[in-house]
Amino acid sequence: MSKLQFQPRFNRALLSSLLLAIGSLAAMSAWADAAADLPVETAELTAPPMVPAPIARKTPAKVIVNLTTEEVIREITPGTKYMFWTFGGTVPGKMIRVRQGDTVELHLKNLPTSKVPHNIDLHAVSGPGGGAPQTLIAPGKDATFTFKALNPGLYVYHCATAPVAMHIANGMYGMILVEPEAGMAPVDKEYYVMQGDFYTPGAFGAGGLQPFDMQRSIDENASYILFNGASNSLTGKNALTANVGDKVRLYFGSGGPNVASNFHVIGAIFDKVYHEGGLKYQEQVQTTTVPPGGSTIVEFVPKVPGNLTLVDHALSRAFHKGAIGIMSVSGEEHPEIYSKAATAKAEH
């Protein structure tokens, strides 16, 4: 490196481009032969909090996933904007659902309007870098790589481009669900929620367009800790909905980059928690921890109508940094389970 002077690198660069092109062609055609027999389908990706439909197939397929990287300015809390870096234009990125044994052909396109390069590392991938080396793309470019979804579970994906903590702090994470071969038990409602921490020079709700604050990120001193990338993404008209007696399943992840979640739903007990997004579940759980780059699947049944509140139970985060969401439950009252009026008032 240090010896480089002014020699033009014309021939060397040209030669390596040619060799790369020849090598890629050979590798791609070998793969095409192996996957030729599989039926091909294009994955339906969903913006949070929605979840792609369950997989009806009982056999493997080749699944095409078309994902973009997009840099978008939008509100992080009412009155304050932030430049989010995203997969598919949302925080978290679009949710992907495939089946164990599927061959996934992932196409990543970095929009020409982007300022910086991006790539993707999916934790569902068995292989060095999880796809990151194949997908590093400058603005306006696209890349493709293929992997076999060997392991069932709920997996985080994220951008792995330097400086990686900044790409993740700006919102570049999402999740891919790999359904087990046997499928998943049907439920009434499924939702997709991810927690993430954000770093700005101004305090929560300071107003204007807030930039990323590198030092606060290094110090892990978050200004915002949010569900789905905004303080109001799951409140008001954006609240999740369910009916009394519904089986509810939440696919919950932690994007980080730095802060683990202590996920709790005020007013509900999780019947099942698939800890770390794996196959085994714990029963009767009140609060579950989710590390950055990790996930969990929780299932519960709302018993009475009203608002259930999703929080990080490190409660300063809920009350001061935005980690709060609402699930609005409709249906019949069940006073034998929960009496809404205070006892003294009822006796009077």
Partner 1 sequence: MKTAVACFAFVLGCLHAADYVPIAGGTLRTALPMDGETVPVAAYQLRSKPVTNAEFLRFVLANPEWQRGKAATLYATSAYLSQWHSASDFAPHAPNAPVTNVSWFAASAYCASEGASLPSWTQWEFAAAADASRKDARNDPAWRAQILGWYEKPSVERLPDVGLHPANIYGVYDLHQLIWEWVDDFNGLFVTVDSRAQGEQKVFETCGAASLSLGDKENYAVLMRIALLAALNGQDSVGSLGFRCAKPAQ
Q: Output 82 or 191, the one with its CB closest to partner 1.
A: 82
- Considering only the stretches 15-23, 228-236, 251-259, 318-326, report the one whose residues sit in contact with partner 1 under the rule CB under 8 A: 15-23
Q: What is the CA radius of gyration of the chain?
A: 22
Q: Output 132 or 240, the one with its CB closest to partner 1.
A: 132
Residue 163 binds partner 1 (CB under 8 A): yes
β 40-42/62-77 pair status: parallel
Residue 103 binds partner 1 (CB under 8 A): no
Q: DSSP 3-state assignment of 330?
A: strand
Window 121 to 160, contacts with partner 1 (CB under 8 A):
121, 128-129, 132-133, 135-141, 160
- Shortest reach from residue 132's CB to partner 1, in Å: 4
Kind and range of the H or E run holding 217? helix 214-218
Residue 212 binds partner 1 (CB under 8 A): yes
Residue 216 binds partner 1 (CB under 8 A): no
- Considering only the stretches 28-36, 97-105, 205-213, 321-329, report the one whose residues sit in contact with partner 1 under the rule CB under 8 A: 205-213
Window 257 to 276, contacts with partner 1 (CB under 8 A):
none
Cβ atoms of 327 and 231 closer than 8 Å: no
Q: DSSP 3-state assignment of 10?
A: helix
Q: Is 320 annotated as ligand-binding? A: no
Cβ atoms of 312 and 319 closer than 8 Å: no
Cβ atoms of 55 and 180 closer than 8 Å: no
Q: Output 108 or 242, the one with its CB closest to partner 1.
A: 108
Residue 17 binds partner 1 (CB under 8 A): yes
DSSP code per residue over 279-297: S--EEEESEEEE-TTEEEE
Residue 172 binds partner 1 (CB under 8 A): no
Look up residue 178 and give its two tokens.
């790999």
Among 236, 235, 284, 285, residue whose Cα is nearest residue 262: 285
Residue 218 binds partner 1 (CB under 8 A): yes
- Shortest reach from residue 89's CB to partner 1, in Å: 14
Q: Is 159 annotated as ligand-binding? A: yes
Cβ atoms of 127 and 147 closer than 8 Å: yes
* Cis omega (within 30 of 0) for bond into 257: yes
Residue 23 binds partner 1 (CB under 8 A): no
Question: 304 phi and psi, to 5 degrees?
Answer: -135, 160
b/e string for 122-151 if b means 16 or more Cβ within 10 A? bbbbeeeebbbebbbbeeebebbbbbbbee
Cβ atoms of 198 and 82 closer than 8 Å: yes
Q: Determine which residue in the list 11, 36, 115, 347 makes contact with partner 1, applying CB under 8 A.
A: 115
Q: Determine which residue in the list 46, 90, 119, 235 makes contact with partner 1, applying CB under 8 A.
A: 119
Binding mask 62-81 for partner 1 (x = CB under 8 A): ---------x-x--------
Cβ atoms of 310 and 325 closer than 8 Å: yes
Q: Determine which residue in the list 80, 100, 170, 295 makes contact with partner 1, applying CB under 8 A.
A: 170
Q: Output 5 or 29, the one with its CB closest to partner 1.
A: 5
Among 134, 141, 95, 101, residue whose Cα is nearest residue 117: 141
Look up residue 96 and give its two tokens.
């992907």
Residue 215 binds partner 1 (CB under 8 A): yes
- Tell me how many residues contact partner 1 (CB under 8 A): 48
- Shortest reach from residue 225's CB to partner 1, in Å: 20
Q: Is 313 annotated as ligand-binding? A: yes
Q: Is 264 annotated as ligand-binding? A: no
Q: Determine which residue in the list 100, 114, 146, 309 makes contact with partner 1, applying CB under 8 A.
A: 114
Phi-psi region of 10 (alpha: psi -120 to 50; beta: other; left: phi over 0): alpha
Binding region for Cu cation = 118, 123, 158-159, 167, 172, 313
Question: Interface residues with partner 1 (CB under 8 A)?
Answer: 1-2, 4-6, 8-10, 13-14, 16-17, 20, 71, 73, 83, 112-117, 119, 121, 128-129, 132-133, 135-141, 160-164, 166, 170, 211-215, 218
